[in-house]
Amino acid sequence: MRCTGVPAKAMRRQRGMSLIVVLLLLIITTVLGVGAASLSLVNEKGARNDRDLEVAFQAAEAALQDAELDITGPNRSRKARLCAFSEKGDVSAFKAGCGEDAASRGLCLGSPAGDAPAWLGVSFSSDDARSVELGTFTDQTYLAADKDNPRGVSTARRPRYVIEALPNNGGYAPNELVGAGADQRTYLFRVTAIGYGVRAETQVVLQGIVRKFNASPGC
């Protein structure tokens, strides 16, 4: 009985098809691997950005709280300037365009209606004397990482703030109207604080309104 095998030409064709299938599987596996690696990198970058934003947010909140101590106390620092903040109309320490000297640093007169607010003209950089670094007038500390405090929060810059004196037109309490006369004018204090993340370009700006009902002792 005579047996016939597979022709040599057909065998070569089958071996060629197997090579193509293997190459296709290799390409698919490579694409899936690259996609998974790219997705992992994107997720890691997103997590870093979220953490950086949270660090900046906490720094801005710390600056807001420090500004509130600057305005209302309690503040036992030798540099305290509690008497600069008065609801009853004495805002002589506040300067147009924000003050730069030791007593009026970061204190800004509110801009006239229709003009840009004073805080927009402040760069909040460390060399801008018109903004206040956290702790300047309160002796409070912010645990930013440096050579003396390697376990602190790593931020590109220290948080800073400015304070604007804004005329109080009422509306903050029921049945309250505030007189428009100069002798009756009262003020609210708007704080604008900025916090930085690990990267200097990650920034969070927060604002709050502080009303000082009573004068500080000794003022």
Q: Per residue in 100-115, pLDDT tens?
A: 998 899 999 998 888 9
| Domain segments of the chain as ranges | 46-210
Output the pLDDT for position 22.
81
Question: How many beta carbons lie within 10 A of that of residue 58, not counting itself?
Answer: 17
**Count of residues for the chain?**
219
- Per-residue pLDDT at 14 exceeds 70: no
pTM score = 0.75
Over residues 158-174, the pLDDT tens digits come to: 899 999 999 887 655 55
Most confident of 37-41, 80-84, 126-130, 175-179: 80-84
The whole-number pLDDT of residue 119 equals 94
State how far the Cα of 45 lies from the Cα of 55, in Å rounded to an integer: 15
pLDDT tens-digit series, residues 146-160: 555 555 567 888 899
